[in-house]
A = this chain, B = another copy of it.
Amino acid sequence: MSRRVRDIDANQDLISEGDSPEDVHLILEGFAVRYKLTTQGRRQILAYMIAGDFCDVHVTLLRRMDHGIRTLRPSRVVRISPGTLLEILERQPAIARAIWLCGLVDEATQREWLVNVGQRSAPQRIAHLFCEMHVRMGIVGLTSNGSFELPLTQEELGDTMGLSNVHVNRSLKELRESELVTLRNGQIVISDVDRLKAFSGFDPSYLHLERTAPFAPADTDIA
């Protein structure tokens, strides 16, 4: 299976909207986004994918991709044929459950993003995202003490939150000046996690952490 591991540069489409990819992709390392373009040429980023995330289990049933997937950092992915995947799902119920569970958490996250964009102010949205990524990066062992790498330009942040890059800039400034959180050179530093959570209204229950993550942290050697 390790034969099917591939290294991808940053800013490459792994899969484009409309594709009917042969394989399912699993991120081993790096950072990628799920995104969609509107007819008017605007972009909405739908999800961030980090180590341990499946990109597109749906292609086993749905032919066409209704969105694209793009790396933002150099990434390592493994391609799994739907046949192999279905076989694993059948033979290893524990893994099947784990993959299903991951999908459910992804869905819950998708819902929370809608709440975020629909109901919160710009600084709150950004703060909420940072709280979420702090938790997620923590699970895979990529945080240290309220600090972690988040390789996003302000424009990409804007496309995530439904905001202009200019307004993202001003909101980040506001967060910095309130000494809640700073983002510099793709590095997040959270001064006081609890204050940031309170400010953004972050409640991690949608991440369903009580269930231990089925793919263990940092153990990216699944393949």
Q: Which residues of A contact B (CB under 8 A)?
A: 34, 36, 38-40, 42-44, 46, 58, 61-64, 66-67, 97, 100-101, 104, 107-108, 110-115, 117-120, 161-162, 201, 203, 205-206, 208, 210-211
CB neighbours of A61 from chain B (8 A): 97, 100-101, 104, 211
12 A-B Cβ contacts within 8 A? A38-B115, A38-B119, A38-B120, A40-B201, A58-B104, A62-B208, A64-B210, A66-B206, A67-B111, A117-B118, A117-B162, A118-B161
CB neighbours of A62 from chain B (8 A): 101, 104, 108, 208, 211
Q: Provide the bound-state CA to CA distance between A112 and B113, in Å.
A: 12
Is A114's CB under 8 angstroms from B110's CB?
A: yes
Known contacts A62-B104, A66-B206, A100-B61; A118 and B44 CB within 8 A of each other: yes
CB neighbours of A111 from chain B (8 A): 34, 36, 46, 66-67, 110
Q: Provide the bound-state CA to CA distance between A104 and B59, in Å.
A: 10
Q: Provide the bound-state CA to CA distance between A119 and B46, in Å.
A: 12
Is B162's CB under 8 angstroms from A205's CB?
A: no
CB neighbours of A112 from chain B (8 A): 36, 66
Question: Which of B44, B58, B110, B114 has a CB less than 8 Å from the CB of A44?
Answer: B114
Is A117's CB under 8 angstroms from B117's CB?
A: yes
Question: Which of B100, B101, B104, B119 has a CB less than 8 Å from the CB of A162?
Answer: B119
Known contacts A97-B61, A110-B110; A118 and B162 CB within 8 A of each other: yes
Q: Provide the bound-state CA to CA distance between A42 and B101, in Å.
A: 28
Q: Provide the bound-state CA to CA distance between A155 and B101, in Å.
A: 34
CB neighbours of A161 from chain B (8 A): 118
CB neighbours of A43 from chain B (8 A): 119
CB neighbours of A97 from chain B (8 A): 61
